[in-house]
């Protein structure tokens, strides 16, 4: 059975890449281009993973993270960002992010992260 | 008016009547004389009976005259007229008051008044055309019948006075002679010494009385002045002539003469001579005064000497003033040294001169370096460009003992080895002196020397003046030192400022670049990440045998290269924060080498580690240092396209630094390029790099408080040395361990 994952990013090609790469490797990939779409999906589906871009215009990825964690606390969230900072990393971890990755994220790195997160859950 | 003329006329008449009467009386024709007076005319007659009186008067040896009670001369004898130095005609009929001066007038009046009654006597002076004549007067009443007259008998006292004078002056002279300190000699007209002071006998060494003056005092004229009247051609003073001169009434004053006594002793005398006059004013002899001025002369000589010295000192002062003026005008340091040496040569009358500055750190305990010289040939100049303290020379000797060294003749100096002596002689130097230049604090700062081509011993005066020059030179050197120190620190500051400026310019470019990269790196990064993601995705599915596999692999590589460029740009414009901790340089090197292991084997580069056992720990961000090292390795590998050897060493670089050196055996870097390699955007790898690798390395190392240096020889390889500060307590430990 495929693992349900929510990928939120305003970059359609990134969503396409994730759909292709993760889909082939046993993930049930659901994508959202913004906060509203993501929240709508969260209402109807249960996810094991969420891959969230930290900079999610117009709203903030951190804000979305806290809403996701409030609704589905057991969900494992992985934050991805092009502008990694110590502050945002600390903030994300405090809210409950399981990992914090810098873009560009290689596929190998990403799969490794999933494994790490699962084993340390 | 008419009345006055009448009066005049009557007076004239009376005068002629009186004259006629007088003439008559004198000739004896008339025996009466009518004299007009306040009480009316009086008639005086000389009758026959009186004639014997007249004869008596005429024959008297004394002057005699008959007078009216008022003092008019009625008759006088020739002797009286002679006494008054007048003819009888100019006496008879004249009042006596006409022959006395004011001083004697009162006395005469009193005599005349008393003489009417009694005989009175008094000394009185008559005034004559030839001077005063002292006269002893006796005036008494003369009764001729009822006619009241006065009779005057006058004795000329001139002769008596003269003898009194002579008596008195003789006594005075005796006194003077007795007590005189000076030599006083009196001789008579013939030159025989009649009187002499005690000092005269002492000077002559014999009793000089009754000897001839020129026989005793042989005087030799000294300087030709004052004795013009008496200088003989042989220079001797003819004393006879002096006496003759004096007898003529002339005076010789203050003539310097030399007197050689019979025993050979010489005296300098000041001679004055003059006539000795009798009371008739005639020169009767000669008076000499001789003053012994031998001591005075000595004092004068001394004075002359000190004057000469003074004038020498004055000329010295002028010389020094001239030098100071010349020095003040000279602004250039080298010019100043040369001017000082010119002055030194002038003062010391030397042939050469040199000035050296002491470098205490040079040589074995200091060396003197030539600042300037005067007269050296270029060979000599080269020979003495630098003199160490242990060398055999006057300046080194002066440096050793800390005071002036003088060699008056190198050929006669035993301490100078033959080689040094010959070196001096070949340079044309026989004598020399070296004087240390002392700072105001008393330290030796240099040396100033003068050299002579002939044997020479500098005089005390020359050395004294020279010391003044040396003082100037020392001050100059001190100033030069201070200036140099100032210039050095100024240069350092300027260099730092220039570096800072360049950094600022670079960072200015980098700020712009940073802004660009911050916005653009992302724009590149994300799409690139997606491309790379798809490539990886595709590659995972395809076996290497797949015909598209190779194409995908190339896409992946090129994308990764783009990613690396972007990362570099981001790193340089916005460096990652540093996380320093205590780490071991050996571990860092080990790990960094692992990172490039595959590249090394691929490029056929052998790596060699030379790590000092237990290197002191460093306080660093190991990841950043790894980054630096990897960067250096990659550059090294690039420099060895056909393989080679990469040597990484870790060694202590002094007390507080650790040096990690990365050497390759590659192409090396052109000398011109060396200064540029740390500048941003300078790249030797025209195609593949942005030229930020080494600037990033330098920034990281600088942030760690260290430095990175490069050494390269084209064709032989390049070595980068990264010096990092050792952890403070570790430095102490390693020090105590050592």
* B529 Cβ under 8 Å from any chain A Cβ: yes
pLDDT of B47 > 50? The answer is no
CATH architecture label of B21-156: 2-Layer Sandwich (3.30)
CA trace torsion B164, B169, B174, B178 (10° rounding):
150
User: How close is the nearest chain A Cα to the Cα of B560, in Å?
Assistant: 11
Best of A104, A107, A109, A111 to mutate (most B CBs within 10 Å, chain B): A104
Q: Is residue A53 part of a domain?
A: yes
Give the count of Cβ contacts less than 8 A between chain A and B. Answer: 46
pLDDT, residue B452, reads: 93
* A17 Cβ under 8 Å from any chain B Cβ: yes
Residue B228 confidence class, pLDDT cut points 50, 70, 90: very low
ipTM entry: 0.81
**B116 φ/ψ angles, rounded to the nearest 5 degrees:** -70, -20
Nearest to B681 by CA among B501, B505, B498: B505
Report d(CA B257, CA B263) in Å as an integer.
Answer: 18
Round the average pLDDT of chain B to a whole number and report it: 78
User: Tokens standing for B454?
Assistant: 């002939």
* A11 Cβ under 8 Å from any chain B Cβ: yes
> Among B138-152, B524-538, B611-625, B659-673, whose mean pLDDT is lowest?
B138-152
Q: Contact A11/B526, CB-based, under 8 Å?
A: yes
DSSP-assigned beta bridge partners for residue B356: B370, B447
Q: Do domains B162-292 and B315-471 have the same CATH topology?
A: yes
DSSP states of B15-56 as a string?
Answer: HHHHHHHHHHHHHTS--EEEE--TTS-EEEE--GGGHHHHHH
Enumerate the residues of chain A whose CB falls inside 8 A of the CB of residue B533.
14, 17, 21, 104-107
Report d(CA B139, CA B113) in Å as an integer.
Answer: 10
User: Tokens standing for B233?
Assistant: 């051609």
| Spatial contact of A17 and B540, defined as CB atoms under 8 Å apart | no
Give B292-322 pLDDT, tens digit per residue: 888 777 888 888 888 888 787 777 777 777 7
Question: What is the span of the domain harbouring residue A15?
Answer: 3-91
Q: Which long-range contacts (CB under 8 A, 24 or more apart) does A26-32 make?
A: A26/A2, A27/A2, A27/A3, A28/A2, A28/A3, A28/A4, A29/A5, A30/A4, A30/A5, A30/A6, A31/A6, A31/A7, A32/A6, A32/A7, A32/A8
| Spatial contact of B716 and B708, defined as CB atoms under 8 Å apart | no
Enumerate the residues of chain A whose CB falls inside 8 A of the CB of residue B525.
82, 103-104
Q: Contact A17/B530, CB-based, under 8 Å?
A: yes
User: Tokens standing for B337?
Assistant: 């040294």
pLDDT, residue B733, reads: 47
Give B404-423 pLDDT, tens digit per residue: 989 899 888 877 788 888 88
Q: Contact A82/B536, CB-based, under 8 Å?
A: no
**Domain map (residue ranges) of chain B:** 21-156, 162-292, 315-471, 578-737
pLDDT of B8 > 90? The answer is no
Q: Contact A86/B577, CB-based, under 8 Å?
A: yes
Secondary structure in 3-state letters for B360-427: CCCCCCCEEEEEEEECCCHHHHHHCCEEECCCCCHHHHHHHHCCCEEECCHHHCCCCCHHHHHHHHHC
Q: How many CB atoms lie within 10 A of CB B380?
A: 21
CATH architecture label of B162-292: 2-Layer Sandwich (3.30)
**B403 φ/ψ angles, rounded to the nearest 5 degrees:** -145, 175
DSSP states of B241-285 as a string?
Answer: HHHHHHHTT--EEEEEEEEE-TTS-EEEEEEEEEEEE-TTS-EEE
The answer, yes or no, to whether the previous bond of B77 is cis (omega within 30 of 0) is no
Report d(CA B532, CA B526) in Å as an integer.
Answer: 10
> Among A106-115, B488-497, B609-618, whose mean pLDDT is lowest?
B488-497
H or E element, residue B556: helix B549-573
| Spatial contact of B201 and B178, defined as CB atoms under 8 Å apart | no
User: How close is the nearest chain B Cα to the Cα of A66, in Å?
Assistant: 25
User: Tokens standing for A100?
Assistant: 């914090």
- The percentage of residues in chain B with a pLDDT greater than 70, rounded to a whole number, is 78
pLDDT, residue B166, reads: 58
Report d(CA B135, CA B128) in Å as an integer.
Answer: 12
pLDDT, residue B692, reads: 74
Q: Is residue A16 part of a domain?
A: yes
User: Using CB atoms within 10 A of its CB, is residue A73 exposed (0-12), middle (13-18) or buried (19+)?
Assistant: exposed
* B526 Cβ under 8 Å from any chain A Cβ: yes
Nearest to A84 by CA among A115, A120, A54, A57: A54
Give B173-214 pLDDT, tens digit per residue: 676 666 677 788 888 888 888 888 888 888 888 888 888 887
pLDDT, residue B232, reads: 38
CATH number of the domain enclosing A42: 3.40.50.2300
Class of domain B315-471: alpha beta
Enumerate the residues of chain A whose CB falls inside 8 A of the CB of residue B563.
104
Q: Which residue on chain B is closest to A14 by alpha carbon?
A: B530
pLDDT of B451 > 90? The answer is yes
* A26 Cβ under 8 Å from any chain B Cβ: no
CATH architecture label of B578-737: 2-Layer Sandwich (3.30)
Q: How many CB atoms lie within 10 A of CB B423?
A: 18
Report d(CA B176, CA B398) in Å as an integer.
Answer: 70
**B88 φ/ψ angles, rounded to the nearest 5 degrees:** -60, -35
Q: Is residue A119 part of a domain?
A: no
What is the bridge-based pairing of β-strands B605-611 and B644-652? parallel
Q: Contact B536/A107, CB-based, under 8 Å?
A: yes
- The percentage of residues in chain A with a pLDDT greater than 90, rounded to a whole number, is 45
Handedness of CA B392, B396, B400, B405 (dihedral sign): positive
Give A18-60 pLDDT, tens digit per residue: 999 999 888 999 999 988 899 999 999 899 999 999 876 556 7
**B349 φ/ψ angles, rounded to the nearest 5 degrees:** 50, 45
Q: Is residue A35 part of a domain?
A: yes
Distances (CA, A) of B671 to B254, B674, B723: 96, 5, 22
> Higher pLDDT residue, B175 or B430?
B430
Enumerate the residues of chain B whose CB falls inside 8 A of the CB of residue A11.
526, 530
| Residue among B526, B533, B577 whose CB faces A21 most closely | B533
User: How close is the nearest chain B Cα to the Cα of A68, in Å?
Assistant: 25
For residue B611, the 8-state DSSP code is E
Report d(CA B644, CA B659) in Å as an integer.
Answer: 22
How many structural domains does chain A have? 1
| Spatial contact of B661 and B721, defined as CB atoms under 8 Å apart | yes
Report d(CA B733, CA B699) in Å as an integer.
Answer: 29
């Amino acid at each position: 059975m495929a693992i349900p994952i929510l990928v939120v990013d305003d970059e359609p090609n990134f969503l396409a890449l994730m759909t292709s790469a993760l889909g082939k490797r046993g993930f049930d990939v659901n994508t959202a281009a913004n906060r509203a779409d993501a929240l709508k999906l969260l209402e109807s589906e249960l996810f094991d993973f969420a891959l969230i871009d930290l900079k999610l215009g117009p709203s903030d990825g951190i804000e979305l993270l806290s809403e996701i964690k409030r609704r589905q606390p057991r969900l494992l969230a992985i934050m991805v960002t092009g502008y990694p900072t110590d502050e945002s990393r600390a903030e994300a971890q405090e809210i409950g992010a399981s990992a914090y990755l810098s873009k560009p994220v290689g596929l190998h790195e990403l799969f490794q992260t999933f494994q790490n997160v699962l084993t340390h859950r | 008016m008419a009345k006055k003329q009448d009066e005049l006329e009557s007076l004239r008449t009376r005068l002629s009547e009186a004259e006629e009467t007088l003439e008559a009386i004198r000739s004896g024709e008339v025996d009466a004389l009518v004299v007009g007076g306040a009480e009316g005319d009086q008639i005086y007659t000389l009758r026959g009976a009186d004639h014997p009186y007249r004869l008596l008067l005429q024959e008297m040896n004394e002057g005699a005259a008959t007078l009216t009670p008022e003092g008019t001369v009625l008759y006088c004898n020739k002797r009286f007229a002679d006494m008054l130095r007048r003819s009888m005609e100019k006496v008879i009929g004249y009042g006596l008051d006409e022959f006395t001066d004011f001083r004697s007038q009162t006395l005469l009046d009193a005599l005349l008044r008393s003489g009417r009654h009694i005989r009175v006597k008094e000394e009185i002076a008559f005034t004559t055309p030839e001077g005063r004549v002292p006269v002893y007067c006796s005036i008494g009443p003369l009764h001729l019948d009822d006619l009241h007259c006065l009779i005057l008998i006058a004795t000329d006292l001139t002769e008596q006075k003269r003898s009194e004078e002579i008596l008195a002056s003789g006594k005075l002279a005796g006194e003077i002679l007795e007590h005189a300190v000076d030599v006083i000699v009196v001789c008579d007209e013939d030159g025989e010494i009649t009187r002499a002071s005690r000092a005269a006998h002492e000077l002559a060494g014999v009793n000089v009385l009754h000897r001839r003056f020129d026989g005793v005092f042989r005087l030799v004229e000294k300087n030709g002045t004052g004795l013009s009247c008496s200088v003989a051609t042989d220079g001797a003073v003819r004393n006879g002539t002096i006496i003759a001169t004096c007898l003529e009434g002339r005076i010789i004053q203050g003539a310097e003469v030399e007197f050689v006594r019979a025993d050979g002793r010489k005296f300098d005398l000041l001679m004055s001579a003059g006539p000795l006059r009798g009371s008739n004013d005639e020169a009767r002899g000669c008076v000499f005064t001789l003053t012994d001025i031998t001591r005075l002369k000595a004092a004068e000589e001394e004075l002359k000497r000190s004057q000469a010295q003074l004038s020498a000192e004055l000329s010295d002062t002028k010389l020094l003033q001239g030098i100071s003026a010349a020095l003040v005008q000279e602004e250039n340091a080298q010019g100043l040294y040369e001017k000082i040496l010119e002055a030194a040569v002038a003062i010391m009358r030397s042939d050469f001169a040199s000035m050296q500055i002491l470098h205490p750190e040079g040589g074995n305990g200091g060396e003197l370096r030539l600042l300037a010289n005067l007269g050296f040939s270029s060979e000599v100049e080269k020979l003495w460009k630098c003199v160490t303290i242990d060398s055999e020379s006057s300046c080194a000797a002066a440096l050793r003992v800390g005071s002036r060294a003088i060699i008056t003749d190198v050929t006669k100096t035993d301490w100078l080895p033959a080689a040094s002596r010959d070196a001096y002689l070949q340079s044309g130097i026989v004598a020399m002196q070296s004087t240390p230049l002392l700072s105001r604090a008393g330290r030796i700062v240099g040396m100033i020397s003068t050299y002579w081509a002939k044997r020479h011993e500098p005089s005390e005066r020359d050395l004294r003046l020279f010391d003044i020059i040396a003082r100037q030179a020392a001050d100059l050197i001190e100033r030069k030192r201070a200036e140099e120190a100032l210039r050095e620190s100024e240069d350092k500051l300027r260099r730092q400022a220039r570096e800072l400026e360049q950094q600022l310019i670079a960072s200015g470019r980098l700020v712009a670049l940073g802004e660009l990269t911050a916005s653009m790196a992302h724009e590149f990064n994300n799409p690139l990440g997606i491309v790379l993601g798809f490539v990886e995705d595709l590659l995972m599915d395809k076996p290497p045998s797949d015909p598209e596999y190779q194409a995908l692999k190339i896409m992946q590589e090129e994308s990764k290269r783009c990613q690396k460029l972007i990362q570099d740009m981001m790193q340089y414009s916005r460096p990652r924060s540093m996380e320093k901790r205590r780490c071991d340089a050996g571990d860092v090197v080990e790990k960094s080498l692992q990172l490039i292991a595959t590249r090394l084997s691929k490029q056929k580069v052998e790596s060699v580690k030379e790590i000092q056992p237990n290197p002191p720990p460093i306080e660093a961000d190991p990841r950043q240092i790894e980054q630096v090292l990897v960067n250096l390795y990659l550059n090294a590998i690039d420099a060895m396209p056909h393989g080679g050897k990469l040597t990484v060493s870790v060694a202590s670089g002094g007390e507080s630094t650790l040096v990690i050196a990365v050497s390759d055996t590659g192409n090396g870097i052109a000398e011109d390029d060396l200064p540029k390699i740390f500048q941003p955007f300078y790249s030797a790898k025209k195609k593949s790099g942005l030229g930020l690798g080494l600037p990033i390395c330098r920034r990281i190392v600088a942030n760690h408080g260290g430095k990175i240096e490069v050494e390269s020889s084209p064709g032989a390889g390049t070595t980068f040395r990264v010096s990092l500060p050792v952890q403070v307590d570790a430095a102490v430990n390693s020090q105590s361990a050592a």
